[in-house]
């Protein structure tokens, strides 16, 4: 019978395979990808023309060419950082944030304690 720690370890491993990002993940990105993700995190969802406008509004040193922007978007989509809906000029990009789920641990603990308290101490 698997214990609480086995179940928690399995949940952690499952979440690591889900994709999506956390703020700590941004630090490991190359500069071009980090610029796009910082921009996307401000908006959470942007159409391709809006992304082009935002990149054009960046300081010249930070600006990406259209080819570099397209490569960055493709890489971020393949790595599940972004979700692309549609193609080409009509594409919409959304940030793939990790799911934030409430803890199920408390309910399990209380039901387990209830069961133990309901048992007759003579049975054990």
pTM score > 0.75 for this model? no
Q: Whole-angstrom Cα distance, residue 94 to residue 116?
A: 47
Q: What is the pLDDT of residue 71?
A: 93
For residue 57, the model assigns a pLDDT of 92
Domains in the chain with CATH codes: 9-98 (1.10.10.10)
Which is more confident, 9 or 35?
A: 35
Give the tens place of pLDDT for each residue, 47-73.
999 999 999 999 988 889 999 999 999
Summary mean pLDDT of the chain: 78
């Amino acid at each position: 019978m698997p214990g609480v720690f086995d179940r928690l370890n399995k949940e952690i491993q499952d979440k690591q395979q889900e994709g999506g990002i956390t703020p700590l993940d941004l630090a490991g990105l190359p500069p071009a990808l980090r610029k796009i993700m910082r921009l996307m995190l401000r908006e959470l969802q942007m159409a391709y023309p809006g992304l082009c406008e935002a990149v054009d509004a960046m300081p010249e040193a930070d600006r990406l060419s259209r080819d570099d922007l397209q490569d960055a978007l493709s890489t971020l989509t393949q790595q599940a950082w972004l979700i692309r809906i549609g193609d080409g000029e009509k594409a919409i990009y959304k940030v793939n944030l990790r799911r934030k789920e409430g803890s199920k641990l408390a309910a399990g603990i209380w039901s387990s304690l209830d069961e133990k308290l309901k048992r007759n101490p003579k049975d054990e």
